Amino acid sequence: MPDEKKLAAEEYVVRMKKITKVYSNGAAANREVDFDLRKGEIHALMGENGAGKSTLMKMLFGLEQPTSGTIVVNGETLKLTSPSVAIAHGIGMVHQHFMLVPSLSVAENMVLGMVPQKSGMFIDRAKAIELTKEYSERFNLFVEPEAKVMDIPVGMKQKVEILKALVRGAKILIMDEPTAVLTSQETAELFVELKHLKAQGYTIVFISHKLNEIMEITDRLTILRGGRSMGVYNTCDVSKEEISRLMVGRDVVLEVQKGKAVPGRPVLRVRNLEYVNDWNKKMLDKISFDVREGEILGIAGVEGNGQKELIDMLFSFNTPDAGEATVNGVSILGCPQEKIRALGISLVPEDRMLNGIAAGASIEENVISDRASKKKFNRGPLFNMKAIHEEADRLIREYAVLCKSRSQHIGMLSGGNIQKVVVAREFSSSPVLILADQPTRGIDVGATEFIRKKLVELSRSGVAVLLVSADLNEVMELSDSLIVMHGGQIAAYFEDTSDLTDDIMGEYMLGLKQQSAEEIGRVCHD
């Protein structure tokens, strides 16, 4: 039930009224959304991916300008034209993807853009370190001022981000999915810190779609669906089920029905893969595993522990320093992608906008990119347009891509529909091995469910699937068996995922525990 209590205007630190935002690609991300914040509360902003949470907060932080509507901060109607204006009014943002310079130290990152100086021209490092320590102690956020950002764990990077905002005088902190990259231990730690901040009178916006966390830490919540506000509630007044219904408009079946896997012979064999990156960091350290016909092998792990590099090697975007990888006995390392695809390897790439699609081309042109030179689609030197149209229409239909026509620019579609186009192409090329790298990142629940179902369907028909996902729920639910990567090594192998818990996984993901070589060796089915 909506919060009916009327409060005096001065108790609100932020009031966003009737905010509408239409992007230049025509997508309406927010429609007449009302959003307000009381001083000293932790306020959850909830909604599916694509519901417009990030857009709304980007407008509060001055990264985007609303098409219409007003923003009132501390009783003053403002035009937040840039983040520096927002910061000047005490609004800070901790982004999901950290905005830090990896090669600089924590203290140097802290003072970026406001560097303390010595005799007018030198950076006063000692002062930067002192400042970092002072804030670190005051807010109970422990960081190592002199460590380089690239060497510190994700949890500490996040603390640096929070401190960065506080040093700049933020009283209102926007946290964009802060727990998405954290293990459950780190999350618990973060919550203690946030409560501490709240006690000191700071206001926090907590963007998330993890229900447990919302229930645990927030005072009130605003729910967005399809760009509209579904109301403001006191967290203690609503149940998880109600929130979930408000978020998606129906009861979500989050569990994917899948029968037991009947693995066949190994399709992908990886042995002793090693790779040292340009900054001399060992990203892959003697990685060995097999993926068998008809099984989904999941790779869990905090991002940046070698998963990306592993996929890059397997799809030949990069070559390892040592080791081998074969698909059905044929070596795949360093092959051109043409050959990789000819061998029946498909990739749902991590970043669909970077290499999954050509945003300026049509849906049709995107969906045939791997098969355009096939005989079926050509007649002499020219395309067989009829066959191409048929193929595009068929895939749009089968994969339920919501669009006006096959000739619509793919960049105009929503994230979920773009991903469906990528998946339609990758799944329909009769692959023997699918590499699915974050297949449902940043897309709506409907599309997520659809893609997961298709993935399970394909694996049950005998395709080998390697699934990499930062979403712990996803890997644990979809995978038949699972490996955990930490620091470029395989930290654990679980043959059966049914009795795994977040906590067990967390310990391996953080490197607190490590299985023995024999236990891990079982993932090679020699």
Partner 1 sequence: MTRKRQLRFTVIRSLVAILIALLVATVLIFISAEGKTFMDKLQATGEALKQLLLGPIFRFSKNAGLSFEAKRLLDIFAAMIPIIFTGLSVCVMFSANQFNLGAEGGIMLGAFVAAMVAIYLPLPAGIHPLVAVLLCGTAVSVVMLIPALLKAKLNVSEMVCSLMLNYIIMYVIKFLMNSFLADKSKGQIQSHRFLESANIPAMVNDPLFIGAKLTWGFPLALIAVLLCGLFMYRSRWGYSIRMIGINQEFARYSGMNVGKTIVLSQLIGGFLAGAGGGIEMLGRYETFSWNALPGYGWTGITIAILAGNNPYMVPLAAFFMAYLSKGCDLMATYARVPAQLINIIQGVIFLFFAADRFLSKYRQKLVVKSAEEELARAGALKED
Between CA 98 and CA 106, with CA 103 as vertex, the angle to 5 degrees is 65
Q: Of the two residues 367 and 482, which places its CB atom closer to partner 1 in the complex?
A: 367
Among 13, 300, 357, 395, binds partner 1 (CB under 8 A): 357
Which residue has 């940043």 as its token pair? 442
Among 8, 381, 430, 517, binds partner 1 (CB under 8 A): 381
Q: Is 91 helix (H, G, I), strand (E, B) or coil?
A: strand
Q: Of the two residues 177 and 365, which places its CB atom closer to partner 1 in the complex?
A: 365
Among 24, 257, 461, 498, binds partner 1 (CB under 8 A): 24
Residue 65 binds partner 1 (CB under 8 A): no
Among 134, 321, 338, 495, binds partner 1 (CB under 8 A): 338
Q: Of the two residues 22 and 504, which places its CB atom closer to partner 1 in the complex?
A: 22
- 111-130 residues in contact with partner 1 (CB under 8 A) are none
Q: Of the two residues 276 and 359, which places its CB atom closer to partner 1 in the complex?
A: 359
On whether the CB atoms of residues 125 and 167 are closer than 8 A, the answer is no
Q: Of the two residues 95 and 406, which places its CB atom closer to partner 1 in the complex?
A: 406
Among 359, 387, 504, 524, binds partner 1 (CB under 8 A): 359
Which residue in 351, 372, 350 sits closest to 361, CA to CA?
372
Residue 341 binds partner 1 (CB under 8 A): yes
Which residue in 258, 157, 174, 252 sits closest to 211, CA to CA?
252
Residue 82 binds partner 1 (CB under 8 A): no
Residue 318 binds partner 1 (CB under 8 A): no
Residue 432 binds partner 1 (CB under 8 A): no
CB of 339 to partner 1, least distance (A): 8
Residue 22 binds partner 1 (CB under 8 A): yes
Among 52, 155, 349, 416, binds partner 1 (CB under 8 A): 349
Residue 354 binds partner 1 (CB under 8 A): yes
CB of 292 to partner 1, least distance (A): 25
Q: Are strands 220-225 and 42-46 parallel, antiparallel or unpaired?
A: parallel
CB of 169 to partner 1, least distance (A): 33
Among 147, 324, 383, 504, binds partner 1 (CB under 8 A): 383
Rounded CA separation 220/44 (Å): 6
Which residue in 84, 89, 46 sits closest to 71, CA to CA?
89
CB of 411 to partner 1, least distance (A): 10
Residue 375 binds partner 1 (CB under 8 A): no
Q: Which two tokens stand for residue 7?
A: 């409060």
Which residue has 């390897």 as its token pair? 345
CB of 365 to partner 1, least distance (A): 7
CB of 22 to partner 1, least distance (A): 5
Q: Of the two residues 23 and 142, which places its CB atom closer to partner 1 in the complex?
A: 23
String of DSSP letters for 280-317:
S-EEEEEEEEEEETT-EEEEE--TTSSHHHHHHHHTTS
Rounded CA separation 183/470 (Å): 10
String of DSSP letters for 316-347:
TSS--SEEEEEETTEE-TT--HHHHHHTTEEE
Element (H, E) at 125: helix 125-138
CA max distance for the chain: 75
Residue 63 binds partner 1 (CB under 8 A): no
- 147-186 residues in contact with partner 1 (CB under 8 A) are none
Rounded CA separation 150/296 (Å): 32
Count of other CB atoms within 10 angstroms of residue 131: 19
- 454-483 residues in contact with partner 1 (CB under 8 A) are none
Residue 430 binds partner 1 (CB under 8 A): no
> In sequence order, what are the beta bridge partners of 122?
118
Break the chain down into helix, strand, coil percent, rounded to 5: 35, 25, 40
Residue 365 binds partner 1 (CB under 8 A): yes
Burial class (CB in 10 A: 0-12, 13-18, 19+), 5: exposed
Q: Is 378 helix (H, G, I), strand (E, B) or coil?
A: strand
Q: Of the two residues 286 and 371, which places its CB atom closer to partner 1 in the complex?
A: 371
Q: Which two tokens stand for residue 27?
A: 């997508």
Q: Which stretch binds partner 1 (CB under 8 A): 24-32, 214-222, 303-311, 326-334?
A: 24-32
Q: Is 84 helix (H, G, I), strand (E, B) or coil?
A: helix
Q: Which stretch binds partner 1 (CB under 8 A): 8-16, 193-201, 217-225, 339-347?
A: 339-347
Q: Which residues bind partner 1 (CB under 8 A)?
A: 22-28, 31, 67, 315, 317, 336-338, 340-342, 347, 349, 354-361, 365, 369-370, 372-373, 377-378, 381-383, 385
